[in-house]
Amino acid sequence: MKNFLRGFIAIWYLLGWMTHVYLVFTAPQDYQAFGATALIPAYKTFWQNFIMPHINFFVLLLVGFEIVVGLLLINKGKWVKIGLVFSMLFNLFLIQMGLTTQTQDFWLDFVANRMPNIIFIALQIPLFFGEFQKTLWEEIKSSFVKKNVR
């Protein structure tokens, strides 16, 4: 189960970056909504005045980050834990930033903008207690070998 969960999270990052590449080149203005849902008021101004004018650069940094986190998660040993730390810190940041759904109601804001990342963090916590002696590919390969031997 831990490898299934690790694989799900890794794929989330390893495929998610493609969405950002597509969006930044086809609809960069869509990123403006992220600044509007931040919990910290000064961050909203920072987003509009600094991030948005340089959105291509920051999205390319995000793409690199997502690829690195995904690769760390499919690795083994301490690298998986390092990937988990980066992933969880990123998701904590996204809790503050929000996921673009603008609402005046606290609970609707929580459900739409904060809860998905809280759930994603909660899913990752058990992985900190696992040992990852093999890469994800080695785990997949060994599970097929065991089934074919029987």
For the chain, first and last CA: distance in Å? 21
Residue 149: its pLDDT value, please? 54
The reported pLDDT for the residue numbered 145 is 73
Residue 104's Cβ-side half-sphere holds a number of Cα atoms within 13 Å equal to 0
d(CA 135, CA 121): 22
105 Rama sector, left if φ>0, alpha if ψ -120 to 50, beta otherwise: beta
pLDDT by 10-residue block (mean), the chain, 150 residues: 91 93 93 90 94 96 97 96 97 94 90 95 95 90 70
